[in-house]
Chains A and B, each alone.
Chain A
Amino acid sequence: MSEPNTNPRPRGEMDRRQFVKGAALVSASSVAAAAGAYAQVTAPPAPPAPAPQVPKKPLGRTGLQVSALGVGGFHLGVPRDPEEASRIVARALEAGINFFDNAWEYHKGESEVRMGKALKGKRDQVVLMTKVCTHGRSKQVAMGMLEDSLRRLQTDYLDVWQIHEVVYYNDPDLIFAPGGAIEALALAKQQGKVRFVGFTGHKDPAIHLAMLAHDFPFDTVQMPLNCFDASYHSFETEVLPEAIRRGIGVLGMKSLGGSGEMVTSGAITPEEGLRYAMSLPASTTISGMDSLSVLEQNLEIATHFQPMTGSEMEALRARCRSLAADGRMERFKSTKFYDGDLGREQHGFPSAKELPL
């Protein structure tokens, strides 16, 4: 690429080596924290029993290990008290969660600001992801958003940077057009500002497959994965195997329907929903948790996690099948309710509020 390096502090091999060192520290430090800080150094005979930890899984071919439960950034912007977000992050870290999700547009930046504050001094312990919200716009727009995200998150690099909300049928064309967002992903990676890149969307497996068909070296791909998805416009059936085949790290989301619809309707328990999602061959399941009590509920499930057997999963799918068939449990696929206004505006679409759901 002939792009000028606009970064005032040029990056190179040195930084990449620091990344590798950082990655090694992630697992070492979390083990240490689990056993009591640096207990091994002085080798006491009986270290205290470690607090229950969320298990870790490899993130595709990146060499990173990520917690099987991830903290969703949108919901950190929900509590009125910003300190609640810090408490959620601190407790999550303590329980072994190292995967943190965010997006440039969540709560107009507030989600990233809160996460940046909460992770101060702990940046190196986590795999930090945020998303860029070009919604069809250019590489330049993307690079500007990256600088915003880095500043808000108080860091000089991201572990994962993804294109947000790939949900419209012309998105793959717009993203891969000359000067499009895909060039920003390549440039940011080359500049060392991001280690890995990917994309996300909640709408239709066909759009994800159209993105993958461009054969860009995506490191990650995010998608809805839950026990209803399997019977309705299924990412599990159509996209997950293809991502795994390509060695791409899969990030699951919407394990309970996006707003807990699957649980509040009485169809499943949170444990069934979360365990199902976590039993799939995804690297992590990102969950929105807007209070400590929701986090504790999820930690209880994730720290005691045993994968479901194939027959348990099939039984759950079968139970959900007839409820899944009209898509009301997955409104992010079946309606425009979950499509963001910024993305719609950038595509020249009216706000979802003006349309029938």
Chain B
Amino acid sequence: MPSVPTKPFGNTGVNVSALGLGGHHLGDASDEKTAAAIVREAIEGGVTFFDNCWEYNRGKSENWMGKGLRGLRDKVFLMTKVCTHGRDADLALQMLEESLRRLQTDHLDLWQIHGVTFDNDPDLFIRPGGAAEALAKAKQQGKVRFVGFTGHKAPRIHLKMLATGFPFDSVQMPLNAFDATFQSFETLVLPELNRRGIAALGMKPLTGKAEPLSKNILSVDEALRYAMSLPVATTITGMEKLDVLRQNLKIAQDFKPMSAAEMGELRQRCARLAADGRFEHYKMSLQYDNPEARLAHGFPIDPEQREVKQLLQEAKNTGSPYPE
């Protein structure tokens, strides 16, 4: 049976699947049963890397993944993210307990700081009492094996996080053929991670909303293969339907790295379109900022945004499914 290739997770000695299952989209599946089927079929196809986050779909993403992984927990490398957004270590540790409960496990393979987006986030992370202390403590307690951070905004902010000197095991970032020429994580952050032996986790291989596909600029095969050909441990992508999963599994199972020339051609094709950032709104538009993070920072939020509407409908993140 064909399987997704695996790659080393930084210097840790652990291997993970080159394709990762994104947790946000799992919560966007039509129902819980479909989500469980996606989890099961992904594992059967060789996916071991599972991504999630405390705040995705107000807890529904973690709940559904936890249910889908019943009896399969040991077959996967399970990651979720903590959503302190500048707030205290204590809050982070509470969120960890909630995540463990929802995911129905006693430990995470990877726990990451979610949404490092704002220019003062690195300062807030590393301050006394900040979330850095929670990462260290959780690791020491054996509740998490590895720790890292993620963000989609600016390479500059990622580099500031690395400059705090905290011993991260992984760093997650957008990596795609558009990123290569626009505020580029590939150019500015990825080489630094490789140099330090930190596991690089790619996300948004289709730029988040698959716009390059609908506009016939890239095929899904090209987009996914480009991201997977970079020196990363895994490429996380959202798959809310079984047919999307099957399409991506096929690409990943047949994966042959692109040649440097092929990658150059793809970057070239995207460069002119990439230059104003409209294909990577997560880097450019305040409306793509996570409202939970904006609130935690005291920034105004946009009541018309989908996530804000979710937030307002269920102000308390209890982990129960968001009432549709």
- Chain A residues within CB distance 8 Å of chain B: 167-171, 204, 206, 231-233, 321-322, 324-328, 334-336, 339, 344, 347-350, 355-357
**In the complex, A321 Cα to B276 Cα: how many Å?**
26
Interface flags for B271-293 (1: CB within 8 Å of A; 0: not) read 11111111001001111110000
B120–A170 CB distance below 8 A? no
Return 11 A-B CB contacts under 8 Å, by A number: A169-B183, A231-B119, A233-B154, A325-B299, A326-B289, A328-B300, A339-B276, A347-B276, A348-B272, A348-B273, A357-B286
- Which residues of chain B come closer than 8 Å to A355, judged between CB atoms? 278, 281, 285
Q: Is the interface of A mostly helix, strand, loop or mixed?
A: loop
Contacts of A336 in B (CB 8 A): 276-278, 284-285
Give the size of the chain B interface in residues (CB under 8 angstroms): 30
Question: In the assembly, what is the distance between CA of A356 and CA of B182, in Å?
Answer: 18
CB distance from B287 to the nearest CB of A (A): 5
Contact B276 A344 (CB under 8 A): yes
Closest A residue to B121 by beta carbon equals A325
A170: which of B118, B272, B286 is its contact (CB, 8 Å)?
A: B272
For chains A and B in complex, what number of residue pairs have CB atoms within 8 angstroms?
77
Question: Which residue of A has the minimal Cβ distance to B274?
Answer: A169
Min C-beta distance of B281 to chain A, whole Å: 6
Chain B residues near A347 (CB-CB < 8 A): 272, 275-276
Contacting pair B286 A335 (CB below 8 A): yes
Tell me if B196 counts as interface (CB < 8 A to partner A): no
In the complex, are the beta carbons of A206 and B183 less than 8 A apart? yes
Q: How far is the CA of A321 from the CA of B124 in the complex (A)?
A: 12
Residues of A within 8 A of B276 (CB): 167-169, 336, 339, 344, 347, 349
B-chain residues with CB within 8 Å of residue A206 when the two chains form the complex: 183
Q: In the complex, which of the residues B183, B285, B286, B294 has the most CB atoms of chain A within 10 Å of its own CB atom?
A: B286
Is B13 in the interface zone, CB < 8 Å from A?
no
Q: Are A233 and B156 in contact (CB under 8 A)?
A: yes
CB distance from B294 to the nearest CB of A (A): 7
Chain A to chain B: the 5 pairs with minimum beta-carbon distance, closest first: A325-B118, A168-B275, A170-B275, A325-B120, A169-B275
Task: Assess A334 versus B119: contact at CB under 8 Å? Given A204-B183, A348-B272.
Answer: no
Say whether B297 faces chain A, with CB atoms less than 8 Å apart.
yes
Expressed in whole angstroms, the minimum distance between the Cβ of B111 and any Cβ of chain A is 24
Quick one: which of B120, B121, B274, B287 has the most chain A CB within 10 A? Answer: B120
Known: A232-B119, A328-B299. A170 touches B287 (CB 8 A): no
B298 proximal to A (CB < 8 A) = yes
Separation of A171 and B272 alpha carbons in the complex (Å): 10
Chain B residues whose C-beta falls within 8 Å of the C-beta of A334 in the assembled complex = 284, 286
Cβ of B181 and Cβ of A169 under 8 Å apart? Answer: yes
Interface string of B155-194 (1 = CB under 8 A from A): 0100000000000000000000000011100000000000
